[in-house]
Amino acid sequence: MNKSSDLYDITIVGGGPTGLFAAFYAGMRELKTKIIEALPELGGQLSVLYPEKYIYDVPGFPKILSKELVKNLIEQAMTANPTLCLEERALTLRRREDGILELETTKGLHISRTVLIAAGVGAFSPNKLSIPDAEKFEGRGVFYFVREKALLKGKKILIVGGGDSAVDWALNLKDEAEKVTLVHRRDVFRAHESSVKQLFHAGIDIFLFWEVKELHGNERLEEALIFNNKTRETKVLPVDVVLINIGFKADPGPIRNWPVEFEGRHIKINGRMETSLPGVYAAGDIAHDPASVYFDLIVIGYAQAAVAVNCAANYINPKATLFPGHSSERSS
């Protein structure tokens, strides 16, 4: 299927909690839905910044792990059968004379009747190692995400980082890999305390105050040269894979130039979540209604997503009711 040339009812920019809940709601309204997300995984800040933290203020969950909430949100969103465009960053937005919206991305052009901007604090991208070899071996041994765990079976894996992702992947891969080694440039971990405890009892080689200096290989990665940032001692480790988990940066980037009105870092919306450009809505952390107070909270994004999608359904078909009906009255 050519994802780009089909006309969609709603295209959601951002696959965080706001975008995911919006996709579910778009399904309730039987809208043909697409999600465009810069990262290869969904969940926004919850997946990237605090997957192992408990959240206590999501209605219906007295306490839920961030990554569990993302899992549930994805399951709920997928009932709408949205087209997922992952690892694709939206660059420009334009409204044609016929009212159709054109979104240009890093991978192509998308057309849609309406657009919901749920881009949070901006497009996330993984921090990279500041050595030229890392880029050279990207996709040929150097990775920032684990796409298929099975592909790492029997490999010698070097994990770089001290946050939740680095520690979780070290624990997760230790039984499948031939060997897992972790290097971290400090001795303080940002990961969950219990996971760090587990790490030190898991038979994983851990190098604290060590960093990657060079990567060697021909077609594929073969060795990593690491160095101790206190003593300057170096070591060569045989490796098949270097998994770099040293955090993410968010870049609001191109959206700042889109033809919608801004107020500071926020896109200005009204009570219907409409931006200044007809057919374009915004919700969640990126949006702000000057007539209202705003909080950067998941629950606010949910409510705004529901309002935005119902208003979009009514914009596409003015005869359609604004109120979606109760989900509890659906047959399944």
At its nearest, how many Å lie between ligand FAD and the CB of residue 324?
A: 20
Instruction: Tell me which residue has its CB nearest to ligand FAD.
Output: 120
CA distance 192 to 199: 11
Per CB under 6 A, 11 contacts ligand FAD: no
Q: Which of 8, 10, 12, 18 binds ligand FAD (CB under 6 A)?
A: 18
240 binds ligand FAD (CB under 6 A): no
- Asked if 307 interacts with ligand FAD (CB under 6 A), we say no
Tell me how far apart the alpha carbons of residues 152 and 275 are, in angstroms, rounded to a whole number: 45
Query: Does residue 282 bind ligand FAD (CB under 6 A)?
Result: no
Exactly one of 3, 55, 128, 174 binds ligand FAD (CB under 6 A); that residue is 55
Count of residues interacting with ligand FAD (CB under 6 A)? 35
Among 49, 64, 100, 225, binds ligand FAD (CB under 6 A): 49
Among 50-58, 73-81, 134-142, 153-161, the segment contacting ligand FAD (CB under 6 A)? 50-58
Does the footprint of ligand FAD cover residue 202 (CB under 6 A)? no
Contacting residues toward ligand FAD, per CB under 6 A:
13-19, 36-39, 44-46, 49-50, 55, 57, 89-90, 118-124, 255, 284-285, 296-299, 301
